[in-house]
């Protein structure tokens, strides 16, 4: 097992990438703290793990609130004794996020608070426990839109993921000599509830999909496997970099019809 005796915190663990990663990490031997604001769905993730005789617990926390991030790290320490993997995955893609003229300041602020400040706060409180646990791996969910302007405007989301990518590089450099690796996972367009709600018409879906050389949306389970690589010793010489898992969208100039 790739994560035997490791303790992992996964934010946004009630659905999508977070749920799939929690299940996979537990299967690979990790003790998983599933973090989300959605108690019902977060506990469903835990149940999916414990039914298979693996180890997981739920901690309700809003990653945009400092005391909640402090609480989730304290929960991991109290419940499992340390921290080796921190997957800062929680994020939103607001339905009212559009171009710079149509997006309200409140939508922009909410997106940045969850998608960017949530990563900062997770690291602020997670890194000291990770250092005390002998080091580990931090994975921050960015996005292919950190490189490309989105075909369907989403100014706040795009800005937030660019910030996550930049922050991941700096965190990696600062903490490299402490046995802590920090990498960003940048998914392409995925068939998740988050994106499907945002691309809420067939026209919007096709506008995004036409740019993907592989011709399909990615799946959350595929991102979980990529996160497992970054969490495990298979990526032991990787830090300060980005793992693009995007169906080729960032490599494409023109996609054939």
Give 107-172 as a 3 state SS string: HHHHHHHHHHHHHHHHHHHHHHHHHHCCCEEEEEECCHHHCCCCCCCCHHHHHHHHHHHHHHHHHH
Give the distance from CA 187 to its chain's centroid: 9
Give the distance from CA 210 to its chain's centroid: 25
Catalytic residue among 80, 125, 157, 253: 157
Instruction: Tell me if residue 157 is catalytic.
Output: yes
Instruction: Say whether 27 sits in a helix, a strand or coil.
Output: helix
Contact between residue 244 and residue 186 where contact means Cβ atoms under 8 Å apart = yes
End-to-end Cα, the chain, rounded Å:
42
Query: In degrees rounded to 5, what are phi and psi of residue 253?
Result: -100, -55
Q: Which residues neighbour 125 within 8 Å (Cβ) at sequence distance 6 or greater?
A: 69, 70, 72, 73
DSSP H or E segment with residue 184: strand 180-187
Active site residues: 157
């Amino acid at each position: 097992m790739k994560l035997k005796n490791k303790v992992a915190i996964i934010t946004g663990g009630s659905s999508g990438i977070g749920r799939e990663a929690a299940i996979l990490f537990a299967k690979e031997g990790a003790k998983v703290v599933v973090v989300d604001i959605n108690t019902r769905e977060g506990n469903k993730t835990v149940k999916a793990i414990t039914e298979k005789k693996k180890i997981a617990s739920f901690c309700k926390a809003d990653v945009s609130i400092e005391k909640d991030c402090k609480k989730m790290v304290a929960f991991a320490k109290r419940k499992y004794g340390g921290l080796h993997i921190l997957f800062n995955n929680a994020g939103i893609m607001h339905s009212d996020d559009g171009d710079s003229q149509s997006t309200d300041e409140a939508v922009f602020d909410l997106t940045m608070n969850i998608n960017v400040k949530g990563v900062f706060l997770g690291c602020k409180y997670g890194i000291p426990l990770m250092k005390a646990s002998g080091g580990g791996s931090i994975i921050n969910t960015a996005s292919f839109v950190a490189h490309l302007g989105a075909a369907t405007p989403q100014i706040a989301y795009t800005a937030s993921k660019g910030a996550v990518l930049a922050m991941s590089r700096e965190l990696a450099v600062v903490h490299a000599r402490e046995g802590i690796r920090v990498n960003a996972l940048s998914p392409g367009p995925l068939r998740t509830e988050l994106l499907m709600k945002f691309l809420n018409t067939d026209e919007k879906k096709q506008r995004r999909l036409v740019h993907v050389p592989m011709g399909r949306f990615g799946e959350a389970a595929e991102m979980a496997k990529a996160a497992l690589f970054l969490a495990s010793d298979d990526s032991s010489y990787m830090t300060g970099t980005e793992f693009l898992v995007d169906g080729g969208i960032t490599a494409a100039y023109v996609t054939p019809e």
